[in-house]
Structure 1
């Protein structure tokens, strides 16, 4: 049993249609432009926006440091005793994990208070952030 196929020339399909080539060329141009300008969209264009982005990142990183300090204190605590989380723990985590050289006590205390209330630490944690 042999299967034969016939090619019928209808004249409707061309292997190199100009629309397809234009589409491929446009795609290559976009890929090249993205490769050249990669990362520039993420950088703010003005100094004010850069400072605002830096402040947001610092605030977010301090909140994460407070979360990590609370989790570490809960791991260290024994079964029936409360976890002791200090502002010093938050500053230590922020310095070690995020590389901050200076962390103000007020900033760390504010971050610890926010996370202390958000993670329901009233039941099993003790902190000095409210002094």
Structure 2
């Protein structure tokens, strides 16, 4: 009974890949460094605080009555960051900086008020 050359070739290729994988042993090309991990955490926190400021601004605009300015506080940003991202401690200066950036980016001077500039 003759063997199928395609099947034998498929099995041989599989064995070659298994041997190559066992020799390589899954080594990481770039090991995780503590410095890169800290930088990633800092980037994520900064981005999440900006998102929390956006959410606080949007919520204040929704709650404002017709013709009244929306009032967004640093405390709103801190509460939103805690509620949505689980940050237990967000400093007032850190939250105020995020709120100032988003306040100016969203052109809030025409319809919002904030204590972030105090």
Q: Smaller-chain TM-score range?
A: 0.7 to 0.9
Match of 1:70 among 57, 68, 75: 57
| Deviation, structure 1 residue 20 | 9.5
Higher helix fraction: Structure 1 or Structure 2?
A: 2
- 1:50-108 Cα distance to aligned partner (Å, 9 max, x none): 11111111100100000000000000001100100000000000011111110000000
Gaps of 5+ in 1: 1-13, 30-36
CA distance in 2 between counterparts of 1:94 and 1:15 reads: 59
| Deviation, structure 1 residue 16 | 3.8
Gaps of 5+ in 2: 19-25
Count matched residues: 106
Corresponding position: 1:98 with 2:85: yes
Question: Greater relative contact order (Cα 8 A, min sep 6): structure 1 or 2?
Answer: 2
CA distance in 2 between counterparts of 1:117 and 1:21 reads: 64
Look at both structures and tell me which one has the larger radius of gyration over its CA atoms.
1
Q: CA RMSD in A?
A: 2.7
Runs of 4+ in 1 over 3 A off after TM superposition: 14-17, 19-22
The 5 Å alignment of 1:13-92 reads 16=7, 18=9, 22=13, 25=14, 45-92=32-79
Length-normalised TM-score, structure 2 = 0.77
